[in-house]
Amino acid sequence: MRKKIIVSFLVTYGIFIACIYFYLFIFHTDTIPAELKGTSVDPERFLTAHEIVLSEQYSTVRNFLFFIEVPFEWFFYLLILLFGIGNLFEKWANRTTPFTLIHNAIFTFCLSFLTFIFFYPLKFFRYTLSKNYGISTQSFHDWMRDLLINFWLDWFLLFIVVSVLYWLIRKSENRWWLYTWFLAIPFVVFLMFIQPVVIDPLFNDFYEIKNKSLEEKILSLAETAGIPSEHVYEVNMSEKTNALNAYVTGVGSNSRIVLYDTTLEKLNEDEILFIMAHEMAHYVEKHIYFGITGYLSLLFLLLFVVAKLAKKVIKKFGKLLHISSMNNLASLPLILLIVSVLTFATSPISNVVSRQMEMRADLYAMELTKNNDAAVSTFQKLTKTGLSQVNPPTLVKWFRYGHPTMLERIQMAERYGD
């Protein structure tokens, strides 16, 4: 039975890879409608012929990696379940210590380490790809440092979540998912609060913007938008990437306006002010809080479905998957598998909501700056530095794009005020 499931999955996975390859590399080409040739959305207007080729190659490979990596993750969890690896980790942890917290720490570390090893080749390929196409500027040493920091951070968060989750499962087999959701609300808000001052500095150095004249203009823009902020922060992303970005992060007193140093180097003043106005829009229109609300609403649905579905799967296939009950830590890979599948299935809906908020932020920025020319040139430079596609394939837009496509953003900027 186990062999049959694995073979069936691999055959289906192979067919899926072939279909995605045909769709991305053969069926679709990054073209724009004929009537838009020669307009501001035409890549030939702001990219060289070489950059157009690089953009198509880089974006297509990245999109292909995304679509093959998702079911690859499902296969990973499936192997753990079918071979009873989670069950072995739990038995080993039980023999090692009688203390539940240490037991949880050992189990989550083993699972996290196995995950790290299994997915490392894909992560390294992504790093190499980005490096070869001139997007990443990060040395291998620094990349590994960030990867290891991220590993320990993910393990620590997983340890906390698992410890609370399984304590609730053992206390209430039927309502654990609801109690988990209630506890997730303050936990998510707390993470958002500490992220700018605790988590982000683990990966990058933040300091007050050096260009004080520009800072005054940004703060003036923030004052017009009603955003309480005394400083604009700069982050040294040029050590890692050539890409451009800026963001408003955090909640409450830890809210921050942050600019990549690459953005300061490669955009002119008007373009920087447009980007900052866009990010300020997320603050003004409470998009951060809408995002938290949306995430928690989705989490409520996910936990409910996981609770019902996992119970049925264990009842029917528990012996095959080496899980005797939900109380066992060995059921964690099953929970993660179900969450991964549901997250992927619902991502088009999440992306639609995100694209709407990003579009509103673009409109707000143009209303605040009164400079749609700066908007157009900004989008063109973002495309150029990130080797992005102006008009990506429909499936890519549905599953990957939390922002409108560059074609849509440039068109909207040009039409603004008409």
- Catalytic positions are 279
- Residue 242 counted as domain residue: no
- DSSP structure class, residue 329: G
Number of Cβ within a 10 Å radius of residue 155: 18
Please name the residue that has the structure tokens 């921050």.
256
Number of Cβ within a 10 Å radius of residue 53: 12
Tokens of residue 24, six digits: 């991305």
- Residue 273 counted as domain residue: no
- N- to C-terminal Cα separation, the chain: 64
- Residue 325 counted as domain residue: yes
- Residue 138 counted as domain residue: yes
- Residue 245 counted as domain residue: no
- Residue 223 counted as domain residue: no
pLDDT in tens, the chain (418 residues): 888 889 999 999 999 999 999 999 888 765 788 888 888 888 888 888 898 889 999 999 999 999 999 999 999 999 999 999 999 999 898 888 788 899 999 999 999 999 999 999 999 999 999 999 999 999 999 999 999 999 999 999 999 999 999 999 999 988 999 999 999 989 888 888 888 878 888 888 888 888 888 888 888 887 777 776 666 788 888 889 988 888 777 666 667 778 888 988 899 999 999 998 898 888 888 888 888 888 889 999 999 999 999 999 999 988 898 998 888 899 999 999 999 999 999 999 999 999 999 999 999 999 888 888 899 999 999 999 988 889 999 999 999 999 999 999 999 988 876 5
Q: What backbone phi and psi angles, to 5 degrees, belong to 282?
A: -60, -35
- Which structural domain range is residue 177 located in? 2-203+287-415
- Residue 337 counted as domain residue: yes
What's the CA gap between 414 and 328, in Å, rounded? Answer: 58
What's the CA gap between 271 and 338, in Å, rounded? Answer: 43
Tokens of residue 42, six digits: 């035409």
Please name the residue that has the structure tokens 């053969």.
26
How many domains does the chain fold into?
1
- Residue 257 counted as domain residue: no
pTM of the predicted structure, to 2 decimals: 0.89
What's the CA gap between 319 and 84, in Å, rounded? Answer: 10
Of 259, 242, 279, 275, the C-alpha closest to 378 is 275
Number of Cβ within a 10 Å radius of residue 19: 12
Tokens of residue 390, six digits: 């102006």
